[in-house]
Amino acid sequence: MAKKPQKRIKHVPQRTCIGCRTVLAKKELVRVVRTPEGVRIDPTGKAAGRGAYVHKIRSCWEQAIKGPINHALKMELTAEDRQILIEYMNQLTQKEPTFDETTQNGTSEQT
């Protein structure tokens, strides 16, 4: 008898949020990258330079900007860099929606 070919499980890259130290899939985090021009938000996750990852929630960004981002990027943030990160942070929600909140809004319910 021939063996059935098993379905291959695809590897999912894991990264750690520098704000809360939680390990998640890379695609669930936002990459901040140090470039020669300064610190930038990298939506693609592929820009050249030293990078750090942060959740898409404001509390993690607040924690990261206080200090861990300096260590992760191996540099001191300039006032301009800090302002860029704060502007991005202000666009984010305060917390991540939970399962209960999404089902109450009807966004996850099936018809």
pTM of the model: 0.77
Residue 111 lies in a domain: no
Q: Which domain holds residue 67?
A: 14-98
Share of the chain above pLDDT 90, in %: 72
52, part of any domain = yes
Task: For residues 59 and 92, give the distance between their C-alpha atoms in angstroms, rounded to a whole number.
Answer: 9
In a domain, 49, yes or no: yes
pLDDT of the residue at 16: 97
Question: In this structure, is residue 70 part of a structural domain?
Answer: yes
Q: Is residue 55 part of a domain?
A: yes
Domains held by the chain: number: 1
**pLDDT (average), residues 4-9:** 82
Percentage with pLDDT > 70 across the chain: 84
CATH of the domain at 82: 3.30.1230.10
Q: How far is CA 6 from CA 1, 3, 9, 95, in A?
A: 15, 9, 9, 40
- Domain assignment present for residue 83? The answer is yes
Quote the pLDDT of residue 109: 46
As to burial, measured by CB atoms within 10 angstroms (0-12 exposed, 13-18 middle, 19+ buried), residue 41 is: middle
Q: Residue 69: pLDDT band by 50, 70, 90 thresholds?
A: very high
Phi-psi region of 13 (alpha: psi -120 to 50; beta: other; left: phi over 0): beta
